[in-house]
Amino acid sequence: MTKLRVALIELLDTEGRVTGAFDVTEWPVRLGRALDNEFVLHDPQVAAHHATLDVDAAGVLTLHVGNSRNGARIEQGRAMVPLSVGEQARLEPLARWQLGGSLLRVRRLQDPLPAEAAQAGLALQAPGWLLPALAVAALAWMGITLWLGNNPDSGWEDYVPALLSAAGGLAVWGLLWGLASKLFTHRFVFTPHLRLALGFTLAMLASELVLSMLAFAFDWPWASRLRPLVLLALGAALLARHLRLVLPLAWRHVQAAVLVLAVLSAGVQMAMQWQRNERLVDELYATTLLPPAWRLVGAQAPQALVQELRGLEKPLVESARKAAEKDFEP
């Protein structure tokens, strides 16, 4: 009569994926390279009779280390605790443990089953029309921007190279992330990466336009100064979403790393601005003016502008003095 499975010993890779499994029908279970073990490990760093798994009367699963020069390591919290020859330790439910270069885990019937993980590439499912719509919107936005910046008599040959270069750059971007997905998840994922790039590119362009319009329409300088931080935040979010597809099993660590990187980047950017002009943000220089009808705040008297300009006299004189001292050579 076939014995019922009471546990499963899983062999894991470095990404936590199961590469092999062994059914346990009774305890104890011996592990090692010798063929008389219940679970044979083909690992040169594992001894002939390396370790034994057993369950006591209370149902506690324990790992016993046998005659091995490398011992074992078991997961306790966030640390891997070493065990030497003759030592033993309790294995927590679903805790990982290591014999030589082999990473293992035991699953018993009473252990909680981990939640189903989202499949890479399916977490960002979208209707088929979304990708073409995003591509058309991005190219149309770029075309309008080029049209506004070029001379009225510019021909199609002035637009096609820039549009083709942008389309090629986005395709290469998606291809590189697709190759990264193939490397880490063994699946080539291209369309979700390209959709992310197009969506976040449009979000960056739209946020920059909206903040500029708010600054102009309501006389809110902070809206214009906020643009670099918003673009940085969107860029960090784009990087995190790409990495979520590439490293789905390490999503929480990736999210924390990207957040730390974004905060450090913002700090470095502000520090460089302060070093250059003793300001945390860029000066506000308008390269173009929006239509006057979009200005929603009331006009101010000319005297108000004169008073503001007088306030600039002292810092400008101080800046000129520092520049003169810096350039002076005795």
Quick one: pLDDT at residue 125? 62
3-state secondary structure of 160: helix
| Helices first, then strands: H and E counts in the chain | 7, 11
The predicted-structure confidence for 69-105, as pLDDT tens digits, reads as follows 999 999 988 788 999 999 999 999 999 999 999 999 9
Measured CA to CA, the distance from residue 259 to residue 240 in angstroms comes to 9
Quick one: pLDDT at residue 121? 46
Q: Radius of gyration over alpha carbons of the chain, in Å?
A: 31
3-state secondary structure of 134: helix
pTM for the model stands at 0.61
Amino acid at the residue 97: W
Measured CA to CA, the distance from residue 167 to residue 163 in angstroms comes to 6
- How far is CA 325 from each of CA 277, 315, 317, rounded to the nearest angstrom? 16, 15, 12
| Residues 221 and 284: beta-carbon distance below 8 Å | yes
The predicted-structure confidence for 244-265, as pLDDT tens digits, reads as follows 888 876 777 888 899 999 999 8
Q: Are strands 39-40 and 29-32 parallel, antiparallel or unpaired?
A: parallel
Token pair belonging to 38: 């219940």
Look at the block and give the residue holding tokens 């992310």: 196
Measured CA to CA, the distance from residue 5 to residue 21 in angstroms comes to 12
- 4, with CB counted inside 10 A (0-12, 13-18, 19+), is exposed
Quick one: pLDDT at residue 213? 86
| Residues 76 and 68: beta-carbon distance below 8 Å | no
Look at the block and give the residue holding tokens 């546990």: 7
Which among 200, 173, 180, 170 has a CA at the least distance from the CA of 245?
A: 180
- Cβ atoms < 10 Å from Cβ of 258: 20
Measured CA to CA, the distance from residue 65 to residue 31 in angstroms comes to 10
Token pair belonging to 273: 């601005």
- Parts of the chain with a pLDDT under 70: 1, 15, 117-125, 149, 151-154, 156, 249, 283-288, 327-330
Query: CA angle, 206 as apex, 205 and 207 as ends, to 5°?
Result: 95
**Cis peptide leading into residue 28 (ω within 30°):** yes
| Residues 209 and 230: beta-carbon distance below 8 Å | no
Token pair belonging to 174: 């998606």
